[in-house]
Amino acid sequence: MKSLEILTDEDKQTLEVARISLDEQGKEGKKKLYIESYGCQMNFSDSEIVTSILQENGYATTSLAAEADVILLNTCAIRENAEQKVRHRLTQFTHLKKKKPQMVVGVLGCMAERLKTKFLEEEKIVDVVAGPDAYRDLPNLFNEVDEGQKAINVFLSRDETYADITPVRLHSNGVTAFVSIMRGCDNMCSFCVVPYTRGRERSRDVYSILKECQDLLNEGFREVTLLGQNVDSYKWESEDGSEKVNFAQLLERVALVSPELRVRFSTSHPKDITDEVLYTMKKYENICKYIHLPAQSGNSRILKLMNRTYDRDWYINRIDAIREILGEECAISQDLITGFCTETEEEHQDTLSLMEYVKYDYGYMFAYSERPGTPAAKKLEDDIPEDVKLRRLNEVIAVQRRLSLARNEMAIGQVHKVLVEGFSKRSEDFLCGRNDQNKMVIFPKENYKKGEYVQVLVTECTSGTLLGKAVN
C-alpha cells in the first residue's frame, strides 16, 4: 500500500484547503478534536472513521493543535523511522499540554497496537492508547481520562469493519475518496508488523461498500480507491450463505455504480491477483488501468525468506498476464525492500533485473528495517550493514527514476482522460489531475473545473509528472 509518510507539495495544498473546511466544522460549545495521520492510506481512511465516531459524540474538528481539547495521532509502525516521527511529534505536543493540562493526548493506530501499555510508560504525555479495532470505544476512553485515569483499548477484533460508519472526509479535494473494503492481514510476510498491529483479515459487507460509493457519487465525488492490505483476498458471504462475492465481483459491482465514477484499488498481492480481476479491469472503462503489485525482491531465495509465498517466476508470470490482458498501457508500480537479511550482491542484482523486466511506472522503495516481534526479527539476523542497505536502495531508486521517465515519455503525443482534482501546486492558471494510470497531469486551466473529465494531449513530461493541453 502506498506510504503517505512524505507529504508532497500537492498534498500540502490540499491540506491548506482542508484546514478551512475543517475549521468551519468547529461549532461553539463543542469539544475540539485535532487529528493527524501517519502511514498508509488505510490509516488516513481510519482517521475519517474516528472523526465520524467523535462527531457523533459531540466533538468538532479543528486544524489548530493549540486550540484542541483532544489531540489524536494515528500512527504507523511499519519501519523504525515511522515510529521516530511519531515520538518526535509527541515531544512537540508536550509544550501545549503544559499550557493546557486538561488537554487529552491519544495515540491510535499501528504503533499504539504494537506498544500497548508501553506507550503510557514511555511517553508520559499520552493519556489514551487505542488500537485499530477500538475506535468505537474512544468516547468511553476519553471519559476514563476525565475521571483522572489513563485509558487503553488494544483488543483486536475478528469482525469489526466499521461498515455502518460514514467516514467524515478529511483533507478532501471533493473528487477522490478512499473506501475501506477489508481490514487486517492473514499473510505472514516475515518482515512485516501489520498482521500484529491490525489483526486477522476480514471483509466488509458488499452492500455497505456499494452504498458508500453511491453516496460519494451523489456528493460529487468522481473516483474511489478500494483499500485493503491484500484486496485480492476480499471475500464476503451473506449470512444465509446464498451470496458470495470475491474481489473481481466486487470490482465489477463498484464499476457498475456509475460510468462517471472511476474505480481504483490497492494493494494487490502477487500470489492472489487473478486473471478474473484482470479481465474485469479490461471490461470496464471506468476501472483504472493501474496495478500496485509489490514485489519486495526479485530473488526467489529472498522471497522465500520473506515468506511472500511466490517466487520470481510466479511474479513474472503475473506481469506477463497483465501485459497480455491489459496491454502495455496498464501502469504497474512496486514496493521493494533492499538489504533484507542475508541478501547478497547477486540477489540484489536480481531485484534490479526484475525492475528492468517489468518496466515499473513508479514505486516505493525502502531499506529493510527490522521490526521487533516479526518472524524475521525472531529467526533471521539483520546482517546487512546500514550503508550497504542504503547504497542498494539508491541503486534501486536510480533505476526506477530512469524507468519512470521512459514510461512517461511513452505518453507524449497521446491524449489522456484526466479527472481534475484542483489547481496545480505552482499556479492557479493550471489544473492538475490523474490519468487512468494514476499519473499526475498538469495543463492550462482555460474554463475547466475540478471534478470534470478532460481530454489532455500530453506534450512534455518529467519522471514524476505529465504536462499537456486540453483538447476537448
Q: Give the integer Cα–Cα distance in Å for 321 and 26.
A: 50
- The CA dihedral of 411, 416, 420, 422, to the nearest 10 degrees, is 20
Q: Which long-range contacts (CB under 8 A, 24 or more apart) does 412-415 make?
A: 412/458, 412/459, 412/460, 412/461, 413/457, 413/458, 413/459, 414/457, 414/458, 415/455, 415/456, 415/457, 415/458, 415/471
Return the number of the residue (335 or 452) whose C-beta is nearest ligand SAH. 335
Return the number of the residue (110 or 209) whose C-beta is nearest ligand SAH. 110
Site string for ligand SAH, 56-95 (x = CB under 6 A): ----------------------xx----------------
Residue 296 binds to ligand F3S (criterion: CB under 6 A): no
| Binding test (CB under 6 A) with ligand SF4, winner from 106, 109, 132, 195 | 195
Site string for ligand F3S, 375-414 (x = CB under 6 A): ----------------------------------------
371 binds, options ligand SAH, ligand SF4, ligand F3S, none, Cβ within 5 to 8 A by partner type: ligand SAH
Stretch of 192-200, 212-220, 232-240, 409-417 lying at the interface with ligand F3S (CB under 6 A) = 192-200
293 binds, options ligand SF4, ligand SAH, ligand F3S, none, Cβ within 5 to 8 A by partner type: none
Residue 194 binds to ligand SF4 (criterion: CB under 6 A): yes
Write phi, then psi, for 332 (nearest 5 degrees).
-130, 135
368 binds, options ligand SAH, ligand SF4, ligand F3S, none, Cβ within 5 to 8 A by partner type: ligand SAH
Query: Pairing between strand 331-338 and 362-367?
Result: parallel
Shortest distance, CB of residue 185 to ligand F3S, whole angstroms? 8
369 binds, options ligand F3S, ligand SAH, ligand SF4, none, Cβ within 5 to 8 A by partner type: ligand SAH
Stretch of 194-202, 259-267, 273-281, 309-317 lying at the interface with ligand F3S (CB under 6 A) = 194-202
Q: Give the integer Cα–Cα distance in Å for 214 and 96.
A: 41
| Binding test (CB under 6 A) with ligand SAH, winner from 362, 368, 423, 443 | 368
C-alpha cell read off for 95 = 509544550
Return the number of the residue (270 or 422) whose C-beta is nearest ligand SAH. 270
Site string for ligand SF4, 213-242 (x = CB under 6 A): ----------------xx------------
| Binding test (CB under 6 A) with ligand SAH, winner from 47, 51, 229, 351 | 229
| Binding test (CB under 6 A) with ligand SAH, winner from 176, 225, 280, 296 | 296
Spatial neighbors of 140 by CB under 8 A, at least 6 apart, are: 151
Site string for ligand SF4, 145-184 (x = CB under 6 A): ----------------------------------------
Return the number of the residue (187 or 286) whose C-beta is nearest ligand SF4. 187
195 binds, options ligand F3S, ligand SF4, ligand SAH, none, Cβ within 5 to 8 A by partner type: ligand SF4
Return the number of the residue (77 or 322) whose C-beta is nearest ligand F3S. 77
| Binding test (CB under 6 A) with ligand SF4, winner from 134, 185, 303, 420 | 185
Residue 110 binds to ligand F3S (criterion: CB under 6 A): yes
C-alpha cell read off for 442 = 498538469
Residue 197 binds to ligand F3S (criterion: CB under 6 A): yes
Query: Where along the sequence are the contacts to ligand F3S (CB under 6 A)?
Result: 39-40, 42-43, 76-78, 109-110, 193-194, 197-198
Query: Where along the sequence are the contacts to ligand SAH (CB under 6 A)?
Result: 1, 3, 78-79, 191-192, 194, 229-230, 267, 269, 294, 296, 335, 337, 366, 368-369, 371
Query: Where along the sequence are the contacts to ligand SF4 (CB under 6 A)?
Result: 185, 187, 189, 192, 194-195, 229-230, 269
